[in-house]
Amino acid sequence: MLRFLNKLLNFKAINKTQTRLHGSETNVFINGKSIIVPSYYTVIQALRGEGVTIPSFCYHERLSIAGNCRMCLVQIEGMWKPQIACALPVAKGMKIRTNSDVTLKAQESVLEFILADHPLDCPICDQGGECDLQDLSMRFGNDRTRFTDIHFQGKRASESKNLGPFIRTEMTRCIHCTRCIRFASQVCGMDVLGSTGRGGEMLVGTYIDKFFLSELSGNIIDLCPVGALTNKPYMFKARPWELKITDSIDCTDATGTNIVLNHRFNKLLRILPRENDEINEEWLSDKGRWAFDALEVQRLVTPMTRYEDKLCPIEWHSALDRAAKILRCSCPPKLMAIAGPHCNAETLVATKDLINILGSDHVYVERGLSYSDTGIDIRAAYSLNVNMKDVEIADKILLIGTNPRFEAPILNARIRKAYTHNECDIYAIGPNCQYNYHVEYIKDLTAAAKCMQDAKRPLIFVGIDQLQSANAVGIMNEAYKLASSLNKKQKDWIVVNVVTREASFAAALEAGWKPGALDALRSGSPHVVISLGADEIFYKWKPPKECTVIYIGFQGDKGAEVASLILPGSAYTESGGTFLNMECRSQYAYPAITPPGKARFDWKIIRAIAEYAKICLFYSDTDSICLRMSQISPNFVYLGNYQEKLFSDNIRKLIKKDNYGVKTLNIQMKNLKDYYCSDILTSNSPIMIKAQKAVDKLESSAYAII
């Protein structure tokens, strides 16, 4: 019954899955020009596919069709009145007129009705300059209204809703397009927003006072065509035409979401999603959108050295000279480097080169993998082995010890689309979590084999937390055993996938770094440790007195607290660089602002230390280090393209035949509260802390369903 209702609610949704599954075409005429379009297209898709401008408010290609704004009215020859282009399917020989007097008059009339009750808030509205209603008013609108009753009765006014710390509402500006309602229901899987009343009395909001808290909630701000929903932390800070725009990559998780950095006067003001159908479509997680305020908290802006148990500021030349002497005097087996979660590939390559020249190979990432000695040289052992957009065509999915909703929200949106649009069955092994789709919990992989035996395109997602447990070898062995029994026909469809969380994880392993920093620190007893923004590891391991820690990073957290020498680095919004997402897809992030104070790019700090230590690294600029990266792995410079994973069949052969089986699985992020402050960066974000408190308040209320 639940599956039938979901199908009924989404029967009009046009999506990329349908595009790949339908192949028939038909002929239509647009303003007298004959074109060929797919037969499942609506009129508005046919028009926009040919570059014809057609106004609309409620229509969005990634949401179901509502057809309630009527702004896309067009004349269809043979039909006695204008038709809404968003809901009308194309038909063979259909003649569409977008430039006729009938079409233009209909659109102007609809706009006049919308503006009749719309407040004149443009000078104080944050949507100004990005408002669809404002743009269409300039195109179609009049400079005065014909509705004189407004002078006596007044315009419609609606009470604003408190949706939480992220979204500011001005519901008087709402034009009832219902984009926010459909997004919350269809993409977020939360029936929080809705409408009451009808016509001019219609109100959009929550039926009861309740926050809209979701890992993707900020996207309704981008979807809103007017100023009814705006960015609360960004309120009244700038106008869009005052901002500079820089393309970048989100580093708060491992999905590699494409983003746009908006900045002014060397200050980052907001982050918006950038469309990429291969990865994030046009969505952005709330951490990626708002956690950047943590980059200004406890910021390191000058080199410091520890003197008599106190950190004292010093000049760069003194700091580099001391770092060079420490490294030169170190014993190679006792020299170690640890990479944090936000390192770019340039820093990872430069640091590994320096450590190797000094005679050591102890380079580690914070994340551990218990089966790391059995095949991390094969990308398929630690990455997503299916193109992210192909997740939505899977017919059966098994989640082993992972909650993608909070570990990788963008990936989870694809999984939910597979559930809603492709009738995908989803199973989970592990504790109960706040999934936003129906999940059938099963006991172990033996039961999973029975559930998934008839799958044509099965996928298994294994949480990265499970791969650093003592049970990791058994989990992967059983997962690949199940995969080999399922995937007998499609050899190019790799079933087992690993859901990672750190933006630097894939690039580090690609560059030759090893997982398991904590075990290496405990067993190796290093005398010198270079920390590249690694803070979390020092909450679990306290350096002994004879150990010297050189911290290169941007935030004064635990790593800087225990450091003997601090070299201020730059954040991902300042240095940019190359990042590999969980697919091992290489992408480049451009720097938006300059680092504050005396902070410098991390890889250039490493390069300067090498120069002071009389060590020659054969690169000094971006081009030369990119050449070095291409020598290590061509994947680093093969930007933007997904590469098929090779040798995935060999992983099970490399894994030791340990029969641990699947024991009790622990998932770190089970609910929304865990999501907002899940790492060091977000724990220092004032906005994320507010969101976490809002979740506490919501959970303590009578309507604690998230």
Q: What pLDDT score was predicted for residue 558? A: 92
CATH of domain 143-296: 3.30.70.20
Res. 259 pLDDT band, cuts 50 70 90: very high
Q: How far, in Å, CA of 430 to CA of 398, rounded?
A: 11
CA-derived radius of gyration, the chain: 28
Tokens of 24: 């028939």
Region 586-601: mean pLDDT is 94
Q: What is the mean pLDDT of residues 599-608?
A: 95
> What is the end-to-end Cα distance of the chain in Å, rounded?
22
- Decide if pLDDT at 150 tops 80: no
Structure tokens at 254: 């491992």
More confident residue, 270 or 486: 270
Residue 247, pLDDT above cutoff 90: yes
Q: What is the mean predicted confidence (pLDDT) over 618-643?
A: 90
Calculate mean pLDDT across residues 639-654: 71
Q: Report the distance separating Cα 433 and Cα 402, nearest Å.
A: 9
Q: State the pLDDT at residue 472.
A: 78
**Domain spanning 384-499+658-670: CATH 3.40.228.10:** yes
The predicted structure's pLDDT at residue 375? 55
Instruction: Look at residue 656 in the predicted model and tell me its pLDDT.
Output: 56
**pLDDT, tens digit, for every residue of 488-498?**
666 778 888 99
Average pLDDT over residues 87-108: 93
Three-state secondary structure call for residue 43: helix
At residue 15, does pLDDT exceed 50? no
Better-scored residue on pLDDT, 658 or 308: 308
Q: Is the pLDDT of residue 126 over 70?
A: yes
pLDDT for res 434:
87
pLDDT at 148: 72
Question: Against a cut of 0.85, is the pTM above it?
Answer: yes
Which residue, among 119, 114, 64, has the nearest Cα to 86 in the 3D structure?
64
State the Cα–Cα distance between residues 224 and 221, nearest whole angstrom. Answer: 5
pLDDT, residue 662, reads 53
| Cross-strand pairs, 196 | 203
Residue 313: its pLDDT value, please?
95
Question: What pLDDT score does 7 carry?
Answer: 45
Neighbouring-strand partners of residue 565: 305, 550
**C-alpha–C-alpha distance, residues 13 and 244, integer Å:** 35
Do residues 257 and 296 touch, judged by C-beta distance below 8 A? no
Higher pLDDT, 282 or 375: 282
Does residue 598 register a pLDDT over 90? yes
Highest CATH level, class, for 2-116:
alpha beta
Task: Kindly tell me if the per-residue pLDDT of 664 is higher than 70.
Answer: no
In 190-207, which positions are buried (b, 16+ CB within 10 angstroms) versus exposed (e)?
bebbeeeeeeeeebbbbe
In 562-610, beta strands by DSSP E: 565-568, 577-580, 586-589
Per-residue pLDDT reduced to its tens digit, 507-517:
999 999 999 89
Residue 706 has pLDDT above 70, yes or no: no
Average pLDDT over residues 433-455: 87
Domain ranges in the chain are 2-116, 143-296, 304-374+504-636, 384-499+658-670
H or E segment to which residue 264 belongs: strand 258-264
pLDDT of residue 669 exceeding 80: no
Q: What is the pLDDT of residue 35?
A: 93
HSE-up (13 A, CA, CB side) for residue 349: 26
Q: What is the pLDDT of residue 372?
A: 57
Whether residue 352 is predicted with pLDDT greater than 90 in this model: the reply is: yes
What's the pLDDT at 347? 95
pLDDT, residue 17, reads 42
pLDDT digits (tens, 9 = 90+) for 178-202: 999 999 999 999 988 999 888 878 8
| 305 CB neighbour count, 10 Å cutoff | 18
Please give the average per-residue pLDDT across 589-605, as a whole number.
Answer: 94
| pLDDT computed for residue 444 by the predictor | 80
What average pLDDT does the structure give for the chain? 87
Q: Which CATH architecture has domain 304-374+504-636?
A: 3-Layer(aba) Sandwich (3.40)
The tens digit of pLDDT for each residue in 375-387 reads 566 788 888 989 9
